[in-house]
Structure 1
Amino acid sequence: MKKKKYEFILFDLDGTLTDPKVGITKSVQYALAKYDIKVDNLEELESFIGPPLGESFKEFYSFTDEEARQAIEYYREYFGEQGIFENEVYPQIPILLEELKKKDKVLIVATSKPTVFAKKILEYFNLENYFDLVVGSNLDGTRTYKAEVIQYAFSELGIEDLNKAVMIGDRKHDVIGGNKNGIDTIAVTYGYGSYEELKDVNPTYFADSIKDILDIIVHDSAS
Structure 2
Amino acid sequence: MIRPQLHEPLQTEFTCVLFDMDGTLVDSAKGVTESAATALDMVGAEVPDPETLLTFVGPPMIESFRSLPGMTEERAQLALKHYRKAYADSGAKQAQLFHGVTEVLNQLGHRLPLAIATSKVEDQALRVAEFLGIDQHFVDICGASDANGRATKRDVIEESLQRLRTKEVNVDSPVMVGDRIYDVQGAAAFGIPTVFAQWGYGTQEEQAGAAAVACQPHDLIQLLSSDKATQQSVGQ
TM-score (norm 1): 0.92
In structure 2, the CA distance between the partners of 1:5 and 1:62, relative to structure 1 (3 Å rule), is farther
2:127 pairs with 1:120: yes
- 1:48-79 CA-to-partner distances (Å, cap 9, x unmatched) read 10111111101134422221111100111211
Could you tell me which amino acid in structure 1 is paired with residue 20 of structure 2?
A: D
Q: Relative contact order, CA 8 A, sep 6+: which one is greater?
A: 2
The alpha-carbon deviation at position 34 of structure 1 amounts to 1.5
Which sits farther off after the overlay, 147-156 or 112-121?
147-156
| Identity among equivalent pairs (%) | 30
Match of 2:220 in 1: 213
Provide the residue aligned with 1:196 in structure 2.
205
Give yes or no for contact 1:4–1:163 (8 Å, CA) kept in 2. Answer: no
- Number of aligned positions between the proteins: 220
3-state DSSP of counterpart to 1:118: helix
Q: Which residue of 1 aligns with 2:137?
A: 130
| C-alpha spacing 1:213/1:60, structure 2 compared with 1 (3 Å) | farther
> Unmatched 5+ residue regions in structure 1?
none
Counterpart for residue 47 of structure 1: 55
* Contact kept? 2:121, 2:145, Cα under 8 Å: yes
- Judging by fraction of residues, say which structure has more helix: 1
Indicate the residue corresponding to 2:38 in structure 1: 30
Aligned: 1:85 with 2:85: no
**Partners in 1 of 2:147 and 2:28 — Cα distance?**
22
Instruction: Quote the Cα distance in structure 2 between the aligned partners of 1:34 and 1:6.
Output: 45
Per-residue CA deviations over 1:176-219 (Å, capped at 9, x if unaligned) read: 011001111111111010011222xx111111111221211011
Q: Is residue 189 of structure 2 the alignment partner of residue 143 of structure 1?
A: no
Matched residue of 1:63: which SS? coil
Where do 4+ consecutive residues of structure 1 move more than 3 Å? 37-44, 159-163
What CA deviation, in whole Å up to 9, does each residue of 1:71-118 have, x standing for no partner? Answer: 100111211110111111001101000001122x11000001111000
TM-superposed CA distance for 1:221, in Å, is 6.3
In the alignment, structure 2 segments of 5+ residues that lack a partner are 1-7, 232-236
Q: Distance in 1 between matches of 2:148 and 2:118?
A: 13
**Match in the other structure for 2:3:** none
Amino acid corresponding to residue 64 of structure 1 in structure 2: T
